[in-house]
Amino acid sequence: MSLVEKTAAQLQEMIHTKEMTIAELTQKAFDRIEALEPKVDAFLALNKERATQQAGEMDKVPFADRGPLFGLPIGVKDNIVTEGLETTASSRILEGFNPIYNATVVEKLKEAGMVTVGKLNMDEFAMGSSNENSYYKKTKNPWNLETVPGGSSGGSAAAVAAGEVPFTLGSDTGGSIRQPAAFCGVVGMKPTYGRVSRFGLIAYASSLDQIGPITRTVKDNALLLNAISGHDDKDSTSANVEVPDFTAALTGDITGLRIGVPKEYFGEGVGEAAKQAVLDALKVLEERGAICEEISLPHSKYALATYYLLASSEASSNLSRFDGIRYGYRTEKAGNLLEFYMNTRSEGFGDEVKRRIMLGTYALSSGYYDAYYKKAQKVRTLIKKDFDDAFEKYDVIIGPTTPTPAFKIGEIIDDPLTMYANDILTIPVNLAGVPAISVPCGFDNGLPLGLQIIGKYFDEETVYRVADVFEQATDFHKKTPQTWEGAAQ
């Protein structure tokens, strides 16, 4: 088995038995990245010099002082600020932006001893489902380089799928961790809203955004969530709740677990392959003692419209800070201050970002506020109630992560509504704020499919337990894409 297929525990064993140093592991990660980047294009900035230096120093730390993630390489989505390492959110308006502090999650990675190797491509400001909205590059899906990796955390999912790094961080506002994880055949967790601090996450839609881990296995995912969770004084929306050891939840026992299967998640637009893969997965879970029953989340079909109104409204407000004055891109063509603002923003933002800013501005403008924004907030209450009701009877809710596997690059980029429909099965989760994971559950024409397991508020433990049981019972997570062939190990 090559290095890139190893879990955190296996890598630690190699380090502890002196088969490999942290410096060597870091070097191997960069070799692998350099070998695969011409095909995959997952990374924006690389942190080679500092990472190499950090790794050398870490090798001197006594084994007794090291945790389970100590010395392991990680990539970070480019909307999470990293001190001294260019952070652009894949937007021209932040080209060359060099943060002067770290996001709380990045501080936590440091505390855990992880080595940040670089920043990962994404849809501009996390708006998109294909990574085609990046100003800088188009990340490719390692399973088929003509298809998209999904989005917006497409770089984060592709880097793990390609074996460039074993761990990445993404962010999920309407499916931006789970959808690319499904498309790339890896494990992606959107934690409960408030579980992980958003301090230093460049805001898109603040009432929905949440940072989470992307990994190859469920256990590694739980390890990384352990490291980044917890209340933060710098984020007043972070929840002051206890953080359990998520890996302790992986007991392998799901006897008597009640699974709700929403019929709406098998409706119009959801492909046969995705449906069948989930039905097969449910059988696997039933064989291990779970009880599956069909349920209804009756307001599911309203989630997409609700999401785009709320997320765009919040975005129009959040993105008003980008004015070219204190940081970021500045226009060269301006006779006065108004022109300066307008030209800076028009030249700095891409089309999808402009579309959402305008939609949000429209939805919040006088005369339309009640009809659009407030209406959407009320429907959000109904969608949340669907989940509250279901979770009175069921421990988890399971369905497909996406209606279809990855689509071709360029195929739907000019059709915003079709692009938005990619997220119909992930968006309700963000509106409710509950946690959900995507784990690999099959293939359709060689492209991965994802199983979505949704849990109760702050019950990531049960979500992980079910995901782990499924992973142990199947071998989808062991399959590797063809891009691996011939690349540095």
Partner 1 sequence: MAKMTKEEVIEVAHLARLAITDEEAEHFADQLEAITNAMELLNELDTENVEPTTHVLQMVNVLREDKSIPGLDRELMLKNVKEHEGGQVKVPTILE
Q: Does 14 bind partner 1 (CB under 8 A)?
A: no
- One of 129, 176, 300, 312 is an active-site residue; which one? 176
Binding window for partner 1 (CB under 8 A); candidates: 71-79, 96-104, 116-124, 464-472: 96-104
Nearest Cα residue to 409 out of 34, 89, 125, 154:
154
Q: Does 296 bind partner 1 (CB under 8 A)?
A: no
CA of residue 266 relative to chain centroid, distance: 23
Confirm if 131 and 139 have CB atoms less than 8 A apart: yes
366 is catalytic: no
18 is catalytic: no
Q: What does the angle CA 182 – CA 187 – CA 188 come to, to the nearest 5 degrees?
A: 80
Q: Taking CB under 8 A as the rule, which mask of x and - marks residues 381-400 in contact with partner 1?
A: xx-x----------------
Nearest Cα residue to 150 out of 188, 180, 195:
180
| Residues from 405 through 424 that contact partner 1 (CB under 8 A) | 416-417
| Residues from 301 through 320 that contact partner 1 (CB under 8 A) | 301-302, 304-306, 308-309, 316, 320
Q: Which residue has the tokens 């890139």?
A: 4
- One of 6, 77, 140, 219 is an active-site residue; which one? 77
Nearer to partner 1, 1 or 338 (CB): 338
Burial of residue 100 (CB within 10 Å: 0-12, 13-18, 19+) is exposed
Burial of residue 284 (CB within 10 Å: 0-12, 13-18, 19+) is middle
Binding window for partner 1 (CB under 8 A); candidates: 163-171, 264-272, 326-334, 400-408: 326-334
Binding window for partner 1 (CB under 8 A); candidates: 54-62, 142-150, 222-230, 298-306: 298-306
Interface with partner 1 (CB under 8 A), residue total: 66
Nearest Cα residue to 151 out of 402, 415, 346, 467:
402
Q: Which residue has the tokens 């499916």?
A: 175
Q: Which residue has the tokens 């509106």?
A: 431
Q: Does 101 bind partner 1 (CB under 8 A)?
A: yes
Nearer to partner 1, 14 or 382 (CB): 382
Q: Taking CB under 8 A as the rule, which mask of x and - marks residues 60-79 in contact with partner 1?
A: --------------------
Nearer to partner 1, 225 or 278 (CB): 225
Task: Tell me the torsion sign for CA atoms 124, 128, 132, 137.
Answer: positive
Nearest Cα residue to 352 out of 95, 89, 81, 142:
89
Q: Does 374 bind partner 1 (CB under 8 A)?
A: yes
H-state helical runs in 349-447: 351-364, 375-393, 416-420, 427-432
30 residue type, one letter: F
Closest approach, Cβ 71 to partner 1, in A, equals: 29
Q: Residue 400 and residue 56: Cα distance in Å, rounded?
A: 43
Closest approach, Cβ 343 to partner 1, in A, equals: 5
Closest approach, Cβ 327 to partner 1, in A, equals: 4
Contact pick of 7, 27, 98, 489 for partner 1 (by CB under 8 A): 98
Q: Taking CB under 8 A as the rule, which mask of x and - marks residues 239-258 in contact with partner 1?
A: x-------------------
CB-hemisphere CA count at 13 Å for 360?
A: 21
152 is catalytic: yes
- One of 90, 152, 229, 300 is an active-site residue; which one? 152
| Residues from 191 through 220 that contact partner 1 (CB under 8 A) | 193-194, 207
Q: Which residue has the tokens 């409204």?
A: 313
- Sequence-distant (≥ 6) Cβ neighbours of residue 395 within 8 angstroms: 257, 258, 259, 455, 456, 462
Binding window for partner 1 (CB under 8 A); candidates: 52-60, 169-177, 343-351, 443-451: 343-351
Nearer to partner 1, 323 or 471 (CB): 323
Closest approach, Cβ 378 to partner 1, in A, equals: 4
453 beta partners? 398, 437
Q: Residue 121 and residue 132: Cα distance in Å, rounded?
A: 10
Q: What does the angle CA 47 – CA 44 – CA 9 come to, to the nearest 5 degrees?
A: 55
Catalytic positions:
77, 152, 176
Give contact residues for partner 1 (rule: CB under 8 A). 97-98, 100-101, 193-194, 207, 233, 236-237, 239, 299, 301-302, 304-306, 308-309, 316, 320, 323-328, 330, 334-343, 345-346, 349, 354-355, 357-359, 361-362, 365, 372, 374-382, 384, 416-417, 431-433, 457
